Amino acid sequence: MGEYGPASALVEGLIERAGSLTLDDAADLYRARASHLLIHGVAADRRAALQAEQAAALAGLTGAFERARHDAVTAWRQALPETHGPWLIVGQAIGNAAGALVVNNLIDHKAFQQLFSPWSQAMGTFVPVGPGVRSRQQIRR
């Protein structure tokens, strides 16, 4: 098991991506997170976050859970240019997504989606799809 539990590879990919977000990416993530909160409500967000924290504690993954959240947000903040913006909401979306990956198999689908959806809506998924996948895999060989 890696530094972030069974999902270390996914968390590391998210951290790497968070560290390379552009201001346009951050704006997309802000809109996705704000829309998600407006549609589903703050209470649903709190319930999902609490479920994730409790699942991490029960599985002995509290350290990995907190580290993933912290490291993802730190990577993003360090790459952020010195400009003003809605960074708290963007940081919450990044931290929620990283934490959700750590406990993805321990929480219900609804809670996972509540925490991870803004990231996937704005940034996409980690699963490569389409005809280019085979080409990229052949190039790497």
Query: What SS3 class is residue 120?
Result: helix
Residue 113, φ and ψ in degrees, nearest 5: -60, -40
Task: Give the separation between CA 94 and CA 8, rounded to whole angstroms.
Answer: 15
Round the average pLDDT of the chain to a whole number and report it. Answer: 86
| Residue 57 pLDDT > 60 | yes
Beta bridge partners of 69: none
| Residue predicted with more confidence, 37 or 81 | 37
Residue 14 and residue 95 in contact, taking contact as beta carbons nearer than 8 Å: no
Q: Look at residue 86 in the predicted model and tell me its pLDDT.
A: 76
Where do the structural domains in the chain lie, given as residue ranges? 8-124
* Residue 124 CA: distances (Å) to CA of 29, 53, 120: 11, 24, 4
